[in-house]
Structure 1
Amino acid sequence: MSEFDELMRQKAVALKYNPDKNGAPVIVASGMGYLAEKITETAMEAGVPVYEDDSLATLLTQLKLGAEIPRELYQAIVDIY
């Protein structure tokens, strides 16, 4: 697989959790390919922990921006933190 193909397979999702406003973490950024690379770079530069899990990223990229994660994914997210 070429470097370009590998880049295009990358996925990234950023979550934010504010217990005073939301019942669950919210999708604040999501993307694939170059956008995923930028999301990851921005997180790392800001000192935000980056966790790699392709299966979880695949599920989360299917959600809309601003959506709370579904109850079925709570445990997977808790395991990250």
Structure 2
Amino acid sequence: MRQHEERRQAVAVRYNREKEKAPRIIGKGKGLVADELIKRAEEAKVPIQKDPSLVELLGQLEINETIPEELYEVVAELFAFIYQIDQHSDKS
């Protein structure tokens, strides 16, 4: 008997502070859909944060839904991670 493998999950988040009051879910999926989201992010050189707990929380939201205030702190950490990557890549 084979053990059931966890299905890969992905959630895409966008935040344009000039146009939006809070980050927004712009895509999400499991399995093949998640693989496609990750592939497109990699192709576009969009930073990817691998955090199963965060994906689980954000995956409960609907596409185009803004992040609720209770998740602001966690999502702020995500954007800090992205900022650090951007700063590092600018120096390369």
TM-score norm. by structure 1 comes to 0.87
Please, what is the CA RMSD of the aligned residues?
1.2
Match of 2:30 in 1: 32
Q: Which has the higher contact order (CA 8 A, sep 6+)?
A: 1
Name structure 2 gaps, 5 residues minimum.
Answer: 80-92
> 5 Å matches for 1:43-54?
43-54=41-52
Letter in structure 1 aligned against 2:60: Q
Q: In structure 1, how many angstroms separate the alpha carbons of the residues matched to 2:78 and 2:14?
A: 13
Larger gyration radius, structure 1 or structure 2? 2
Tell me the equivalent position of 1:56. Answer: 54
Q: Number of matched residues?
A: 77
TM-score by length of 2: 0.77
Alpha-carbon distance between aligned partners in 1 of 2:76 and 2:50, rounded to the nearest angstrom: 14
Aligned to 1:62, the other structure's residue is in SS state coil
Give ranges in structure 1 of 5+ residues lacking alignment: none
